[in-house]
Amino acid sequence: MLKLYNTMSRSKEIFKSMEPNKVKIFTCGPSIYQRPHIGNYRTFIYEDILIKYLEYMGYKVKHSSILTDIEDKAISEAAKKKRKVSDLTDNAAEIFFKEASLLKIKIPSPMPRSSTSIKHSAFLIKQLMDKGFAYRYKNDIFFDPLKYKDFGKLFRLDMKRWPKRKTRFKRDTYTGRRWNLGDFILWHGYREGDTTAWDTEIGKGRPAWNIQDPAVIIQNLGNSIDINCGGIDNIYRHHDYTIAIMESISGKSYANYYLHGEHLIVNGKSMSKSRGNIVYPENILKNKYQPYHLRFFLLHKHYRKRLNLTDEKYNKSSEYIDSLRLLVQNLIKQDNKRKKSGGKSNELILRIKEEFEKHMNDDLSPGTAIDSIFLLLKELKSEKDNAGLDSKQSVMIEKYLRKIDLVLGVIF
């Protein structure tokens, strides 16, 4: 049975989908005012592993995500560079799709931009206003968390800290791991000089960041889903905002499982522009390194543990996966020394699948699964050196590993 660590309960739970053999997943996509860095790709890869493992298990997965192309940061960045927002975001989106393909990340189809759901965002905000959860203030529209009884339940926010005085937060996003104790914005009303705005049933303006995910989720997946994924930063403000909006609109539970991946740091420090240590895939995919080296480095350590990128660790990781791949090629190459299958070799081959599933079922642990498989393959190599492998055994090894690699994407 697959067990996943559910951030909501702070514990591992046996996964059970709402519908038999079907899973609905929403993952937070990139904000494309800038290109994604390798920390973003670490999140995308653990989500990719989850989706592909569920498919490996026989589930039909319906996956939705979003390219965030309209937000404060995109508008500010475009103005600073004297470019159109669309030009800025088109370039970042193109890079994302190219790099995701290189890293064998399965992109949902379609993967809409937030700018394609303007009318639906406005429609949802109208519903929230009609139900009394949202209100207009100086041409903007805000959500009042105190109207939703379970606000902050994912983070386990202490509502006793809530200020008595009405406070509003009108920016799309705020940096740092802190809570904005007050009302959050849903709609930026048009002001003279605004370069990005649409005419809608609630007036002219643009949807704030926190209504954009719900608009895409409801359009593509409905009111309730099985799993909501993202990075650990999303526990602070973002996912609790999504929950509040979704459940205020439908009156139903939004998601049954919440998964969050930890940060990637560089040489012991978090990535930032001020430090000048932001690393992009192209900074690593050069010289002797291939996309599978980077994918392996990003998936080998458990997704809920912080990953530190250093030259030494990346070199060792690359050597490790190269050794595994070389060993695999040796084992699937038929030598026909043995005419009859040997018992110990057969047992080792069967354990490849067992070890993979055992570790993957423990909250998605591809790293320990690969380590265990590597040990089995080394034993098989010894068997081959001593007595050989027959053609059926070589074929079976390749069959198991190719199926496993549909999830891992690093062996072949």
User: Three-state DSSP class for 280?
Assistant: coil
β-strand pairing of 140-143 with 134-137: antiparallel
The predicted structure's pLDDT at residue 338 = 58
The predicted structure's pLDDT at residue 286 = 84
pTM: 0.96
**Euclidean distance between the first and the last CA atom of the chain, given in angstroms as a whole number:** 27
Which domains does the chain carry?
Answer: 3-261 (3.40.50.620), 283-408 (no CATH)
Phi and psi, residue 303, nearest 5°: -65, -20
Per-residue pLDDT of the chain (412 residues; tens, 9 = 90+): 999 999 999 999 999 999 999 999 999 999 999 999 999 999 999 999 999 999 999 999 999 999 999 999 999 999 999 999 999 999 999 999 999 999 999 999 989 999 999 999 999 999 999 999 999 999 999 999 999 999 999 999 999 999 999 999 999 999 888 899 999 999 999 999 999 999 999 999 999 999 999 999 999 999 999 999 999 999 999 999 999 999 999 999 999 999 999 999 999 999 998 899 999 999 999 888 999 999 999 999 999 999 999 999 999 999 999 999 999 999 998 765 655 556 899 999 999 999 999 999 999 999 999 999 999 999 999 999 988 899 899 999 999 999 999 999 999 9
User: Three-state DSSP class for 101?
Assistant: helix
**Is residue 216 within 8 Å of 66, Cβ to Cβ?**
yes
Q: How far apart are CA 321 and CA 343, in angstroms?
A: 28
Kindly report the number of other CB atoms within 10 A of residue 213's CB atom.
28
Assign residue 312 a region (left: φ > 0; alpha: ψ between -120 and 50; beta: otherwise).
alpha
Question: Residue type for 70, please?
Answer: I
Considering only CA atoms, which of 286, 293, 290 is closest in space to residue 309? 293
**Is residue 24 within 8 Å of 222, Cβ to Cβ?**
yes
The predicted structure's pLDDT at residue 340 = 57
Q: How far apart are CA 407 and CA 59, in angstroms?
A: 13
